[in-house]
Amino acid sequence: MSFIKKDYVKDFVVRLTVSRPEALNALNIDVIQELDDNLKDCINDDKVGVIILTGEGDKAFIAGADIKKMKTMNRDEAYDFGRKGQSLTKTIETSPKPVIAAVNGFALGGGCEISLACHIRIASDNAKFGQPEVLLGILPGWGGTQRLPRIVGYGIANEIITTGKMVSASEAHRIGLANHIVTTAELIPKCEEIAEEILKNGPNAIAQSLLCIRHSMGKDINSGLEFEVDRFSELFETDETKEGLSAFVEKRKPKFR
């Protein structure tokens, strides 16, 4: 049984949908592995430039991990499960191709952590974000304690994680957790609109920009600047950069893809 739907919605845009609606798209080991495999396939596919990640239906993006399965885990099994989830979020975060989260409904626990790993988050007006793990006597184990503070700041992250409260779409937008809020009907079109804006640009330049942004996390600015100028100068040896600069001078659109 397949839990991930893969659709090429436009040129160079693919949509991956977690399809387990009977469980509000909650993730177990099988779903995690299938999603990770599909993401890696998209990353390695020259026909893909942007990935949109969403959940089946309008009730949930991903409601979290499979709690019934977690209830039976011992320490070693929990460690392996946590590592699997972290591996998935690392695949998303380190993707050289932008991953846009189309957050429809609940993005809780592991679902929130997956959205945090995405490069851009678009929320429907019924979206709810949260890290409710402490309510169950556990903590976010797929990167929530690491990524949420970097996105919204330590004080707000401390409150969200230690209270386990849900955050509305409007509040998520206010604190920088969501880039945009739209209606449910507008969610995928908005993601596709942003994808089209991204696709106008050089794919290698995009990948290197994401790498520079990621590299700067937790490092001093001088280290980040040194890394940035190296990537900047290396691009000048690529056909992509030559095409982009020539097109500007010649007053035409560049042909990157």
Domains, the chain, ordered by start: 4-199 (3.90.226.10), 203-249 (1.10.12.10)
Q: pLDDT tens across 45-94, in order?
A: 999 999 999 999 989 999 988 788 888 989 999 999 999 999 999 999 99
The residue behind tokens 């290698």 is: 204
Q: Measuring CA to CA, how many Å separate 142 from each of 26, 32, 138, 184, 220? A: 14, 12, 12, 27, 25
Asked if 113 is an active-site residue, the reply is yes
Indicate the average pLDDT of the chain.
94
Look up the pTM and report it.
Answer: 0.92
Selected catalytic residue, list 22, 56, 93, 113: 113
Q: pLDDT tens across 33-59, in order?
A: 999 999 999 999 999 999 999 999 989
Percent of the chain residues topping a pLDDT of 90: 78
- How far out from the chain centre does Cα 255 lie? 27
Average of per-residue pLDDT across 130-151: 94
Selected catalytic residue, list 133, 159, 196, 240: 133
Confidence of residue 1 (pLDDT cuts 50, 70, 90): confident
Q: Measuring CA to CA, how many Å separate 187 from each of 54, 156, 210, 214, 218? A: 10, 26, 23, 26, 32
- Greatest Cα pair distance, the chain, in angstroms, is 64
Confidence of residue 168 (pLDDT cuts 50, 70, 90): very high
Backbone conformation region of residue 176, classed left if phi is above 0, alpha if psi is from -120 to 50, else beta: left
C-alpha span between 13 and 16 (Å, rounded): 10
pLDDT of residue 69: 82
- Beta-carbon contacts of 79 under 8 Å, excluding residues fewer than 6 positions away, are none
Helical residues (DSSP H) of the chain, grouped into ranges: 29-43, 67-70, 75-93, 110-117, 144-152, 154-163, 169-174, 187-199, 203-216, 221-235, 239-249
pLDDT of residue 14: 98
pLDDT at 12 over 80: yes
pLDDT of residue 68: 83
